Chains A and B, each alone.
Chain A
Amino acid sequence: MLAFIVRRLITIIPLLILISIVSFIVIELPPGDWVETRVQQLKLAGATVDDTEIQRLNSQYGLDKPAYQRYFRWVTNMLQGDFGYSFQWNQPVSEILIERVPRTMLIAVLSLIVSWLISTPIGILSAIKQYSWIDYLGTFISFIGLATPGFLLALILAYGALNILGFSPLGLNSIEMIDAPMSIAKLVDLAKHLVLPLIIVGLTGTGVTIRVLRANLLDELKKQYVITARAKGLTEYQLLMKYPVRMAINPLISTIGGILPALIGGEQLVSIVLSLDTTGPVLLRAAIAQDTYLVGGIVMILSTLALFGSLLSDIALASMDPRIRFGGTSK
């Protein structure tokens, strides 16, 4: 098991290097750089900017160096915990990350849990009662989940919450609570504000999970070992949970790796609509303003976290399935 984890950790390194290169290219892709954007803004505002000032800014941020040198400077600094400086926020990028990334991860992980809690029972019921009304209902829910864009749902639900419940779902805390010290009341307030984002972000994953679980379980239910278990005299519930469900869940665990980035992506959009102060709105604004280091930092951190998420799911999978743990190949 330890050898398996070490093996998987080593394979992560080249992936991280690849991600950093891609992040850097994404940063560099748009024409111009932050200084140019800034100068444009100042000129539009009527201010004059002299060339020496531009020169000074360029050399200060290394913008006059060739791209590969800037890349290596960025990466070596990042390894030391220095993610650069946000021109836009006048603040080190790492400070913004520390404040915002945990919130994004909180919403992504909680939505994953919520979506599992909703989808697992529906998926199982759909499969064991195939072609019943509950199956059709499950299928209906999952298609809605798959087909509705998160931001649209966010708008509709936010409208509904405000107009019908009289509750403003915007932000992670009510305005009067934002600066209050941590307390039970503030936590309750946070929980209330989390309900909507979790439903919206989770729904995408829910649809996928219901479909995958239903299909897997239908396959597993036909297998011989289920008949063996029934012949042994186990109750239907005992044998269902111990044998086919256990097998049907395996592919689900391995999809965490794929769902996590999708959830993070979904979280970004929903956060923008519901103006949650997570990484979503920051990333969008930083990208528009070409706030190079901030964009790079956020993309890098979120990708890395998604990577570790999929590593965790692999480890969970290996601990559940001996065939993976022992590197077995036979079916």
Chain B
Amino acid sequence: MTNTKNDLLIEVKNLEVHFNLLEGVVRALNGVSFEIRQGRSLGVIGESGCGKSVTAQSIMRIAPTPPAKIIGGSIRMHVHGEEGKQGEDVEILELQASGEKMRSIRWKHVAMIFQEPMTSFSPVFTIGNQIIEAILLHMPELDEKQSRARAIELLGRVGIPKPERLVDAYPHQLSGGMRQRAMIAMALSCNPKLLIADEPTTALDVTIEAQILELLKSLQAEFGMSMMYISHDLAVVGEMADDIMVMYLGQVMERASRDELFEKPLHPYTQALWRSIPRIDGGQDRLEPIAGTLPSPFSEHKGCPFYSRCEHRIKDVCDVQRPPMYRASPTHEVACFLYKD
């Protein structure tokens, strides 16, 4: 947040996305801003429905429209040029979602791994077929044979045994963990600058989860990628991210470097979250759930969305006006009136 502009990979400002449903309008994203710098990883954390995935999908412009509709804001992405060519800054929201420019950015510059390794691959084509498809699409300098060699190499790199044989395996012949590894191989196939991982380990068991996280970290360093890691698991995000962003009901509550956020959470919501998880050092007697319940997704908030559940709420302040981002340190921002000064 203090670094120079030139290593900025992506800058999201005031992103607003609505879901127009029969029951009403869901404000899925309500002015979300953040940035990701090159080689860094941003962890996004929040409860179900807080807008984590929609944020990621909006960056790639793959949110299902309808019902999702981008209302406003800006997503500026630095798109690196091919060797020797100048890079350019692209305003993602100005592009046509299925247009040529946007399609050339997908997978080549931003790739994504998904939560469900079981369904992320089509069941009727081999893993290799689906990886090679991406390579052929974005790396025209490679022919079919070279693409296949690259797919095998990547499968080996992500820890799939006998890659030269399993490249011709169908997804149903692999276990969930293996499928997620294959998915990672596919995501890396075109050397993306940003890898979005949307809860990639939620559907896996804990031992596999640890392996996948380890793999992602080493690959991030090896490929020099930036990463956006989405999860509802605080421990996992703490493991993966340099910076962390806490989201609640489509808004960013707090944004800080990992250490600051873990050592000194400022927002009452973050603090409440921290109190609700067990710690391995046993430093607390009992877990405290966050008071109240999540408001209806259809409700509209004039003030802070956390107002109804907040223990520090200030009447006639927090419920009247939306708290802006206050800067607590060069790398720590919080959307709460408690930190006005």
Contacts and interface: CB of A to CB of B under 8 A. Distances in A.
A323 B106 contact: no
Contact of B124 (A228, A230, A321): A321
Contacts of B319: none
Interface string B92-117: 00000010000111111001101010
B270 to A, nearest CB: 30
Determine the interface band of chain B, counting residues with CB < 8 A from chain A: 20 to 34
A278 to B, nearest CB: 38
Nearest to A322: B170
A223 B120 CA distance: 8
B120 to A, nearest CB: 5
Interface string A228-248: 111111111000001100110
Contacts of B118: 331
Contacts of A224: 114, 116, 119-120
A330 interface: yes
A243 B130 CA distance: 10
A139 to B, nearest CB: 20
B62 A227 contact: yes
A166 interface: no
B112 A231 contact: yes
Interface in B160-181: 170, 172-173
A247 B124 contact: yes
B91 interface: no
A188 to B, nearest CB: 41
Nearest to A246: B124
Contacts of A330: 172
A235 B103 contact: yes
A232 B130 CA distance: 10
A225 interface: yes
B36 to A, nearest CB: 17
A27 B122 CA distance: 50
Determine the interface band of chain A, counting residues with CB < 8 A from chain B: 20 to 34
A31 interface: no
Contacts of A289: none
A247 B123 CA distance: 9
B22 to A, nearest CB: 12
Contacts of A227: 62, 64, 114
A236 B170 CA distance: 24
A225 B130 CA distance: 10
Contacts of B64: 227
A228 B106 contact: no
B133 interface: yes
A322 B124 CA distance: 6
A212 interface: no
Interface string B131-148: 001100110000000000
B133 A232 contact: yes
Given A227-B62, A227-B114, A232-B137, A320 B124 contact: yes
A225 B105 CA distance: 19
A164 B89 CA distance: 66
A30 interface: no
Contact of B121 (A228, A320, A326): A228
A249 to B, nearest CB: 10
B198 to A, nearest CB: 10
A217 to B, nearest CB: 14
Of residues B123, B137, B138, which shows the largest number of chain A Cβ atoms within 10 Å of its Cβ?
B123
A233 B134 CA distance: 8
A247 B133 contact: no
Contacts of B104: 233
A328 B120 CA distance: 18
B54 interface: no
A286 B119 CA distance: 55
Contacts of A250: 124
Nearest to A230: B62
B60 interface: yes
B120 A225 contact: yes
Contacts of A230: 62, 106
Nearest to A321: B124
Of residues B104, B116, B138, which shows the largest number of chain A Cβ atoms within 10 Å of its Cβ?
B116
Contacts of A225: 119-123
Interface string A87-99: 0000000000000
B108 to A, nearest CB: 7
Of residues B98, B103, B106, B122, which shows the largest number of chain A Cβ atoms within 10 Å of its Cβ?
B122
Contacts of B111: 231
Contacts of B121: 225, 228
Contacts of A321: 123-124
A234 to B, nearest CB: 7
A236 B104 CA distance: 13
Nearest to B109: A233
B120 A228 contact: yes
B66 to A, nearest CB: 10
29 contacts: A224-B120, A225-B120, A225-B123, A227-B62, A229-B122, A230-B62, A231-B60, A231-B62, A231-B111, A232-B133, A232-B137, A233-B104, A233-B105, A233-B108, A233-B134, A233-B137, A235-B98, A242-B122, A246-B122, A246-B124, A247-B123, A247-B124, A321-B124, A323-B123, A323-B170, A328-B170, A328-B172, A330-B172, A331-B118
Which 5 residue pairs spanning A and B have beta carbons closest together? Answer: A233-B106, A224-B119, A233-B103, A225-B122, A322-B170
Given A323-B124, A323-B172, 9 more contacts: A224-B114, A228-B122, A233-B134, A233-B137, A235-B103, A236-B98, A242-B122, A323-B123, A331-B172
